[in-house]
Structure 1
Amino acid sequence: MIRNFVLVLISLLSVTVTANEPLFPQKPGMVSYTYRNEFAKDFAGTLDTIVGLGITDMEFSNLFGKSASEIRTMLDQRGMKCSSFGVSYAALRNNTHEVAQNAKKLGASFVRVAWVPNRQPFTLELAEQTTREFNEIGRRLRNEFGLTFCYHNHGYEFAKHGDGTLFDVLMAQTNPQDVFIELDILWVQFPGADPVKLIQQYGPRIKLMHLKDLKKGIVGDLSGKTATENDVALGDGQIDIPGVLAAAKKAGVEHYYLEDESPSIETQIPKSIAYLKSL
């Protein structure tokens, strides 16, 4: 009798602990693009601002006129790190060795591309061409440099195709060992897709994530473009952030970066950080 009571009590305590477990226990990282204007004016001071927010994980998509080694030194001095390095598609295809060396000097494990130029509107033919190029890039980064290639979606990939989208074509025709995704949840929501369902479908392929929210009432399209003012603080927009985080946690996403393209980052970034802590 007593033994059964103890077992029930342990079970109830376990449920309580699980229910109270934070949905987002780690600290988010930061995309340099959020502070692009600030970095261009005062690189070191901007790093101080970001680390002052409690953020130590960076994704750089620009070197802002500095060498990768210089940036690494400044990061080390502040107890920060760079886990992902974003570059243009042309740089990655034409200067793969230089990109890889810069990534390694920064300390990054991931190299990502966020836009494939001159392929909008996206078609099946362009999607299949892109998958062939992605496979080649990803294989080379992995085999020659020990780096992981990630593609950052930008909305235009969600054009309808058959029972799915051209994003599904990208996923189906790329090598799962060589090509991964940095999921930008705003650029899933904007063209009308569901970020939660997409994470559930492609979980193991999604290594990185851009956390951002889309202003309520905004109806998107396949352009991959929207006004920067449509970026709002997490929790203030139309994306199911708790649902996204729950699915991402189950999928094993490795790095989450705050990205806010708006002119209101001074107020919105602290608000987004507070929101994540509240979940």
Structure 2
Amino acid sequence: VLPELARIGYKEIEFAGYTQNTSILGRQITLQEIRTLLDDNGLTAVGSHVGIGNFRSNLQGELDAAQILGMPHVGTANAPTNVNTVAGYRAAADEFNVWGAAATARGLKLYQHNHAGEFAFATDQPSVRLYDVFLKNTDPRHVYLELDIYWAYVGQYRWPGFDPAAYVRNQPYRYPLFHMKDGDANSANANGFDIVEFGAGDLPYEKFVRDIGPRASHVGIWEQDTAPNTQPNPPGSLGAAERSFTALKGLLG
């Protein structure tokens, strides 16, 4: 997979676990073997999605893994908490501040990746958006955000009243990573959009890129939850990866 992604033109990889099917090797791949595969194919690991429980139980081990793989960021795609109150999100922010300070001490940046639910309103204060509580109460020196642009627009669809690009424009240095995932408008979908190949959807990516402003550097990472079922299938995920790369290159140059 990694040589094929490199052939397509991808330069960075974000992990969501470090395991593989063991039917061929008969054992699990090691972190050092993954690093060698990256290096041999001219790829750089830029981040990883780690279960939030791993940070609670094995923080230093996860930071060790990030350093072995040579990546500058390590994060979670879990919501900060399932307690959707202002106090719940403040408590979660305190927890992230501790983890983030530990990451900073190791030369790493800790990040949280959003889905739609973070843009909902607090159950105890219906005028307060949960994402705003988390952003306000996390230390910008130690806690960063990976904006999943698709899920941000789903959040806007379900809980209107914010502009996804404005979050980045207002605090550009807190958003080192983006998930560049496209969505096709569909009013029959409760989320307002179906996930599709990049470039095949309706999300306003050209406007988003323009509206976030010129400050800071952001790494755009292609993601497509539905990629394995992409038609024609075969080629499935790799076909979607190649077509999406072409569309991303057209957008970003």
TM-score bin (small chain): 0.7 to 0.9
Secondary structure, counterpart of 1:215 in structure 2: strand
1:245-264 alignment to 2 at 5 Å?
A: 245-248=209-212, 250-262=214-226, 263-264=229-230
Counterpart in the other structure of 2:234: none
Counterpart in the other structure of 1:134: 96
Counterpart in the other structure of 1:25: none
Say if 1:155 and 1:127 are closer, same or farther in 2 by CA, change over 3 A.
same
The separation in 1 between residues aligned to 2:80 and 2:138, in whole angstroms, is 19
**Deviating 4+ runs (over 4 angstroms):** 161-164, 218-221
Matched, 1:55 2:17: no
Give, in angstroms, the shift of residue 146 of structure 1: 1.5
Give, in angstroms, the shift of residue 185 of structure 1: 0.5
The separation in 2 between residues aligned to 1:215 and 1:159, in whole angstroms, is 22
Secondary structure, counterpart of 1:180 in structure 2: strand
The separation in 1 between residues aligned to 2:203 and 2:190, in whole angstroms, is 13
Larger relative contact order (CA 8 Å, sep ≥ 6): 1
Counterpart in the other structure of 1:108: 71
Structure 1 residue ranges without an equivalent (≥5): 1-45
1:25-174 alignment to 2 at 5 Å?
A: 46-64=1-19, 65-116=28-79, 119=82, 122-143=84-105, 145-160=106-121, 164-174=128-138
What is the TM-score of this pair, normalised by structure 2? Answer: 0.81
Secondary structure, counterpart of 1:150 in structure 2: strand
1:145-224 alignment to 2 at 5 Å?
A: 145-160=106-121, 164-192=128-156, 193-218=162-187, 220=190
Is 1:235–1:241's contact at 8 Å kept on the other side of the alignment? no
The separation in 2 between residues aligned to 1:220 and 1:199, in whole angstroms, is 26
Matched, 1:230 2:194: yes
Say if 1:250 and 1:135 are closer, same or farther in 2 by CA, change over 3 A.
same
The separation in 2 between residues aligned to 1:238 and 1:165, in whole angstroms, is 25
The number of equivalent residue pairs is: 226
The separation in 2 between residues aligned to 1:194 and 1:173, in whole angstroms, is 20
Say if 1:248 and 1:267 are closer, same or farther in 2 by CA, change over 3 A.
farther
What is the TM-score of this pair, normalised by structure 1? Answer: 0.74
Letter of the 2:147 counterpart: L
Structure 2 residue ranges without an equivalent (≥5): 20-27, 157-161, 231-236
Letter of the 2:143 counterpart: V
Say if 1:116 and 1:66 are closer, same or farther in 2 by CA, change over 3 A.
farther
RMSD of aligned alpha carbons? 2.2
Say if 1:220 and 1:188 are closer, same or farther in 2 by CA, change over 3 A.
farther
Secondary structure, counterpart of 1:108 in structure 2: coil
Give, in angstroms, the shift of residue 165 of structure 1: 1.3
Counterpart in the other structure of 1:3: none
Q: Which has the higher helix share?
A: 1
Secondary structure, counterpart of 1:87 in structure 2: coil
The separation in 1 between residues aligned to 2:52 and 2:239, in whole angstroms, is 32
